[in-house]
Amino acid sequence: MLIGYAGGGVRNIFANKPLRTLADLKGLKVRVQGAPIWSKTFAAAGMSPTVIAYNEVYNAIQNGVIAAGENEAAGVEAMKFYEVAPHLNLTQHAVSIRPICFSVKTLKTLPKELQDAIFKAGKEAGDFGRQLEIERGSHQARCIGEGRQAQARAVRGARRHEEARRSRDGHLRQGNRRRRHLRKDQRRLSRQIAERDFGAGSLLAPVDD
């Protein structure tokens, strides 16, 4: 017997590339659960659904077998899918429902006050579970998004550092070339002065490098 229901977590698509429009979903190799309704649903949206064991999803994305998967934010965080598929796309294509059931046979053996207490507890547990799961899912999705942004900032920072290093190295090379040209000019000028004052073959030493 159903005495309540929890759940409320929404499922989203996580991928190894940005998905901004429906056109980006076309042909997307995405892992789905084994029930045929999942494959039919994702195929209807233009994707290429693939049934893969859940514990193989990480390696499948890493090795290019698939490009995406779908789950609640809690699952994405627990399995660290964000490491290989950092783009969490808030498609919210499904809502998880978690039934809270109680044995009818056992329920009939209990007095009415206990039956009423069980029904009340089922409703309260379902309300609490839904609220908790929605809050956790929102928080985890936000954390994953912030983590991706932090990763992007780190990449941009590394690129700026590399560009600054190259620019600095370029200035150093340019300065070194100028100093070499200056030393050559100094040697040439020293030879000219020596030849003018003492004639060719003077023992006056040129400016050293």
Question: Which tens digits make up the pLDDT trace of 20-60?
Answer: 899 999 999 999 999 999 999 999 999 999 999 999 999 99
End-to-end CA distance of the chain: give it in Å, rounded. Answer: 95
Instruction: Indicate the pTM of the whole model.
Output: 0.60
pLDDT at 202: 47
If you search the block for the tokens 């070194």, which residue do you land on? 176
Q: How far is CA 71 from the centre of its chain?
A: 15
How do residues 56-70 score in pLDDT, each as one tens digit? 999 999 999 999 999
Over the stretch 80-123, which tens digit does the pLDDT of each residue have? 998 899 898 889 899 888 999 999 999 999 999 999 999 999 99
Higher-pLDDT residue of 136 and 128 is 128
pLDDT at 205 over 70: no
What per-residue confidence (pLDDT) applies to 115? 95
Distant-in-sequence contacts of 206-209, Cβ < 8 A, 24+ apart: 207/183, 209/183
Give the span between the Cα atoms of 6 and 17, in whole angstroms: 32
> What number does CATH give the domain 2-156?
3.40.190.170
Q: Rg of the Cα trace of the chain?
A: 35
Q: Which pLDDT band holds residue 189 (cuts at 50, 70, 90)?
A: confident
What burial letters (b/e) apply to 90-103, b meaning 16+ CB within 10 Å?
eeeeeebeeebebe
User: pLDDT band at residue 148, thresholds of 50, 70 and 90?
Assistant: low
